[in-house]
Structure 1
Amino acid sequence: MSLTPSSLVPIFLLVLVFIFPLIGIAKESSLGEILRSHGLPTGLFPQSVKSFKLDQMGRLEVHLDRPCLAQYETTVFFDTVVKANLSFGQLKVLEGMSREELFLWLPVKDIIVTDPKSSVIVIDIGYAFKRLSFSRFDEPRICRSHHGTFFSLSF
């Protein structure tokens, strides 16, 4: 059987039917797009994200290259794996993220957008709530090595 230009057209169309949906899935599956579609800023996690999983129950698991520190309003520590329950405007029951407050490292428990129109994000560190501008989290930050940092995050 020889392939002629007219016989290639159906094959080409068949390939397009299968390839274009896959391109759309890959594009929508970036962590930034997932966060944005859930009403959260795209820069909540640093640039060193290696991969992530989001299950049907909304359980998000983000894998980083290594534990690291990123500078937002204060310094934030990211463990190698950060887990949270993702729903619209919320990352709840966070594990693997801590924030420096007055020389103490406190675990970040929740990140919530209470009113999307206000452009304010609320960070629950257990003892206090920090209200920060959405714009502080527009872009993923560079995450530097935490080696040499003198603290323990065993909570």
Structure 2
Amino acid sequence: MTMSLTPRSVVLIFFLALVFILPLIGTAEEGSSSHLEEVLRNHGLPAGLFPQSVKSFKLDRMGHLEVHLDRPCLAQYETAVFFDTIIKANLSFGQLKVLEGMSREELFLWLPVKDIIVTDQTSGLIIIDIGFALKRLSFSRFDEPRACRSHHGLGFRMDGRKGIGFGYGGGHSDQR
């Protein structure tokens, strides 16, 4: 018995594939930073991980988070933290993994933040992975989003690179 596909069966297969695949690739676009704070809290993370200048964010069903800011900026937590215009990460409960677009100042160097993890909700600690070291900070330092000031005057730009240059007054103009 040979089986051949009729135009009707091709349409049926296409329709079924569409029904099962579309929900996997859908995204939820949220417009406000207060909604992002709620999403972070619901995932066991502090609400203030991103600055006040969040313009919008996207979170798809696979947990890919993309946060858009008004402009690149610096916020003061324990140390200065640089946020690029777009920050990307994989969001799961208690974790922001494979972060791009965020760097932290450590001993006069700007190091990319790779992961942010809350391993135990009761410990009151959050772990910031900057590659060669893990920083354990109080969860309460990130309760509220911080004001973010312009990064002008700093001589570096992220431009999606994993490791970046350093120095002040480098003369780069912001093309964004």
Range of TM-score over shorter length: 0.7 to 0.9
Normalising by structure 1, we get a TM-score of 0.80
How far apart are 1:26 and its partner, in Å? 8.7
Moved more, 29-38 or 79-88: 29-38
Equivalent residue letter for 2:64: R
Q: Corresponding residue for 1:125?
A: 130
Richer in helix (by share):
1
Q: What's the counterpart of residue 15 of structure 2?
A: none
Aligned-residue identity in percent: 79
Instruction: Report the residue type matching 2:60 in the other structure.
Output: D
Once residues 46 and 126 of structure 2 are traced to their aligned partners in structure 1, the CA distance between those partners, rounded to angstroms, is: 9
Aligned with residue 52 of structure 2, among 21, 25, 47? 47
Matches within 5 A, 1:139-150: 139-150=144-155
Say if 2:88 is the partner of 1:83: yes
* TM norm structure 2: 0.71
Matched with 1:112 is 117
Superposition misfits of 4+ residues, deviation over 3 angstroms: 151-154
Q: Distance in 2 between matches of 1:53 and 1:135?
A: 25
Q: Deviations over 1:97-132 (max 9, x none)?
A: 000000000000000001110010000000100000
Q: In structure 1, how many angstroms separate the alpha carbons of the residues matched to 2:85 and 2:38?
A: 21
Which residue is equivalent to 2:37?
32
**Are the aligned partners of 2:82 and 2:102 in contact in 1 as well (CA < 8 Å)?**
yes
SS of equivalent residue, structure 2 residue 122: helix
Amino acid paired to 2:58: K
The gaps in structure 1 that reach 5 residues or longer are 1-24
| Number of aligned residues | 130
Name the structure 1 match of 2:171. none
Distance 1:151 1:127 in 2: 21
Shift in CA distance, 86/103, structure 1 to aligned 2, threshold 3 Å: same
